[in-house]
Amino acid sequence: MIDNRHSTGSALHSRMLAIDLQHLRYAVAAADYGSFRQAAEALLLQQSTLSRCIRQLEHSIGAVIFDRSSGGVKPTPAGRSVLRMARTILEEFETLIATARSTRNGETGRLAIGFCTSLSAGNLRASLLDFRQRFPQIELATVERRRTRLATALRNGVLDVLIVTGSMPLLKSKKKSLWSERVLVVLPEDHPLTAREVAYWTDLRDETIIFSQYDPGREVEDLLVSKLVSPDDRPKIERHDISRGVVKSLVTMKVGISLVLESDVGANFSGLVYQELRDGAGPSRLDYSAYWQDDNENPALEAFLKLLSERYPSPSLGS
């Protein structure tokens, strides 16, 4: 025995799969204008074409959407429900298209940035604020870790881009030079060096320098060693497995002094003074670069790299 209910349901399901979004648009327009003729004129269609498409829609859903009369068209009770859902479907479809286009253009999505510097001030903070203002729909994830862990996360695709000091050779990675920051010495406010406008590397000879084992402490320590080549000229160095904030607390306790980059100035502590460190050639600086995998096709990354190129253009050849 044939189950007519199953057969009827299957036929209805097949008809509904054939519904054209354009037919839904025609029906909504007809309801808005109250007339097939006016709706067809607004859509630049023949009235017969619009009328035929709406009849096909009614056949597909198995319900009459409009009562027709010489004065125009009026939705039936069933038609009102159909039209309400049709408007929702069309709005969601338009949202889908807009989202797809935005994602393709790097206007939505997610960007994961790894760094090992302060966000209290400086160029990285300014760049991220600019990016958020330009692309408010992009989810921005920031990760601060040690350099080795950041490199692993970039290789594994967990992070899209790294903003770090120094060199970082990575397989399949690309690099863009960004900005540089001055190296500063952090002193207790009553330290003798605070009486000077600037400090020189040689002034550190008899000091105790506290470094965090987190980056960029290692790069700053390497710079100190390069400036004070003779071990006899170098200060005592203490390395602690603590954050930069805790290092500053130790400085306020007069355990020693420390060296930071200028972006750290924004996270100031009471009782501390920052002095620019110089050698005979002027202020000492460390360079920042962006690293990313060359096979990363994230549109949000492309948008961020474009912003970085605008803010920090590469010097032209011969300049």
Q: Is the pLDDT of residue 218 over 60?
A: yes
CATH number at residue 200: 3.40.190.10
Q: What pTM, to 2 d.p., does this model score? A: 0.63
The residues near 104 (Cβ < 8 Å, ≥ 6 apart) are: 299
User: What's the CA gap between 205 and 257, in Å, rounded?
Assistant: 12
Residue 142 lies in a domain: yes
| pLDDT at 83 (0 to 100) | 94
Q: Which helix (H) or strand (E) holds 175?
A: strand 173-188
End position of a domain, from candidates 58, 88, 104: 104
Question: Are residues 216 and 76 both part of a single domain?
Answer: no
Residue 294 lies in a domain: yes
Residue 74 lies in a domain: yes
User: What's the CA gap between 221 and 217, in Å, rounded?
Assistant: 6
CATH number at residue 24: 1.10.10.10
Question: Are residues 173 and 292 both part of a single domain?
Answer: yes
End position of a domain, from candidates 44, 70, 104: 104
Domain count, the chain: 3
What residues are paired with 259 via a beta bridge? 185
What confidence tens digit (pLDDT) does each residue in 118-156 have?
Answer: 776 789 999 999 999 999 988 888 888 778 888 888 988
Cα-Cα-Cα-Cα dihedral sign, residues 259, 166, 279, 205? positive
Question: Are residues 274 and 254 both part of a single domain?
Answer: yes
Question: Are residues 277 and 136 both part of a single domain?
Answer: no
| Residue 55: band (very low, low, confident or very high) from pLDDT cuts 50, 70, 90 | very high
End position of a domain, from candidates 62, 79, 104: 104
Residue 316 lies in a domain: no
| pLDDT at 264 (0 to 100) | 82
The residues near 35 (Cβ < 8 Å, ≥ 6 apart) are: 72, 73
Residue 317 lies in a domain: no
Q: Is the pLDDT of residue 195 over 60?
A: yes
Question: Are residues 208 and 279 both part of a single domain?
Answer: yes
Question: Are residues 94 and 150 both part of a single domain?
Answer: no
Question: Are residues 221 and 256 both part of a single domain?
Answer: yes
Question: Are residues 154 and 114 both part of a single domain?
Answer: yes
Residue 64 lies in a domain: yes
Residue 15 sits in which domain range?
4-104
| pLDDT at 28 (0 to 100) | 93
CA dihedral 130, 137, 157, 166 (to 10 degrees): 10
Q: Is 224 exposed, middle or buried (0-12, 13-18, 19+ CB in 10 A)?
A: buried
Question: Are residues 95 and 235 both part of a single domain?
Answer: no
Residue 123 lies in a domain: yes
Question: Are residues 201 and 269 both part of a single domain?
Answer: yes
Task: Say if CB 35 and CB 28 are below 8 A apart.
Answer: no
What confidence tens digit (pLDDT) does each residue in 157-189 have?
Answer: 889 999 998 777 776 789 999 999 999 999 999
Question: Are residues 303 and 162 both part of a single domain?
Answer: yes
Task: Say if CB 36 and CB 69 are below 8 A apart.
Answer: no
Cis? peptide before 216, omega within 30° of 0: yes
Residue 155 lies in a domain: yes
| pLDDT at 13 (0 to 100) | 47
| Residue 20: band (very low, low, confident or very high) from pLDDT cuts 50, 70, 90 | confident
| pLDDT at 21 (0 to 100) | 87
Q: Which helix (H) or strand (E) holds 52?
A: helix 47-61
Question: Are residues 11 and 148 both part of a single domain?
Answer: no
